[in-house]
Amino acid sequence: MIDLENQIKDDLEIQARLKLFSAIEPGSITWTIELKRYGAVELVERIIHGAYEKVNKASVGIRQVLIDTSAQALWEEIEFAEARFITPSSKYWPTSLNDLSNPPIGLIIKGANLPAQSISIVGTRKPTLYGARVASEFASGFADRNWAVVSGGAYGIDTHAHRGCLAAEGSTFAVLASGVSVNYPAGNSKIFSELQESGALISEVMPRVGARAERFLTRNRLIAALSKGTIVIEAAFRSGSLRTARDAAEIMRPVMAVPGPITSPTSDGCHRLIGERLAEIVTSVPDALELMLPISSQKTGTLGGDDT
């Protein structure tokens, strides 16, 4: 009887998390704190009853979404996308995400499971031929050693990292700023299709939700947290890739940067990370593996499976 009651409670918690997932913009520290304090079921009730309206203007819009949206409709959208929704109570939740100060309410996964060993490779959207080649070679080198490659699915270094891994018949995972049913950017739709055979699309918004500028920054923390280390290959002095590197450093993941010509603006960000001692110089896959050796023996969890 007790087990049945606990199962019902867990199911209600998952339904409530799914509704919060659909209503709250990813990356909110405020709602992370409230969710931890009250749990999903009680938090939904508090928002609906207007507990936050005087102190949080955004709660008004969130309240309306919670009222207007049924959990059943959300499940149907996820199933139609041939994806699945996982939460921290799920068997395959990546426990490494719990290191974040603002972990996701849940994740939508379309594709395979994330192996225990993965590396993030990020960089500029406008790489030089040098950067594109290095990204591809690093990714294929990790794939040859049975490491998965995580990146953001964007043009540039992300694309070459995904392609390099696929060329080596490895597993690669794209953490999106949109839903898994939105091929953004459209030019990478073929890559998105191919990587699902051994990797996955990962998102913290509903499948049909489009990309927004701020979500590219908030999703970077997931790229950092899902991997045992982050490698930056070409990044401008001000770059979203530097945000990923800083996110990784905040949760004590190794940050590595590939140096480039001192005259190349696309390597300014990498040199900045190295100069500020936020990143170690790496010039090969063995270099990177040596830096991650203390971390690579730790258990970080996997992605995939049903929400059980």
Residue 197 DSSP label: T
Stretch 213-219: mean pLDDT, rounded? 93
52/134 same-domain check: no
141/275 same-domain check: yes
285/167 same-domain check: yes
Please check whether residue 83 lies inside any domain of the structure: no
- Tens-digit pLDDT profile for residues 260-291: 999 999 999 999 999 999 999 999 999 999 99
6 pLDDT tier (thresholds 50, 70, 90):
low
Q: Is the dihedral of CA 22, 153, 127, 278 positive or negative?
A: positive
Give the CATH number for residue 115: 3.40.50.450
Q: Which tops the pLDDT comparison, 113 or 119? A: 119
60/174 same-domain check: no
pLDDT for 4: 45
pTM of the model: 0.91
Please, which residues have CB within 8 angstroms of residue 271's CB and are 6 or more apart in sequence?
Answer: 257, 259, 260, 262
128/218 same-domain check: yes
138/195 same-domain check: yes
10 pLDDT tier (thresholds 50, 70, 90):
low
pLDDT for 1: 44
Please, which residues have CB within 8 angstroms of residue 52's CB and are 6 or more apart in sequence?
Answer: 34, 46, 59
- Tens-digit pLDDT profile for residues 176-207: 999 999 999 999 999 999 999 999 999 999 99
- Tens-digit pLDDT profile for residues 117-131: 999 999 999 999 999
Among residues 162, 224, 235, 233, the alpha carbon closest in space to that of 197 is found at 162
160/258 same-domain check: yes
45/115 same-domain check: no
CA distance 201 to 194: 11
Please check whether residue 240 lies inside any domain of the structure: yes
114 pLDDT tier (thresholds 50, 70, 90):
confident
Given a cut of 70, is residue 234 above it in pLDDT? yes
Please, which residues have CB within 8 angstroms of residue 254's CB and are 6 or more apart in sequence?
Answer: 228, 229, 230, 248, 280, 291, 292, 295
60/117 same-domain check: no
- Work out how many domains the chain is built from and give that number: 2
Q: 146 lies in which domain range?
A: 111-296
171/227 same-domain check: yes
197/267 same-domain check: yes
Please check whether residue 63 lies inside any domain of the structure: yes
Please check whether residue 264 lies inside any domain of the structure: yes
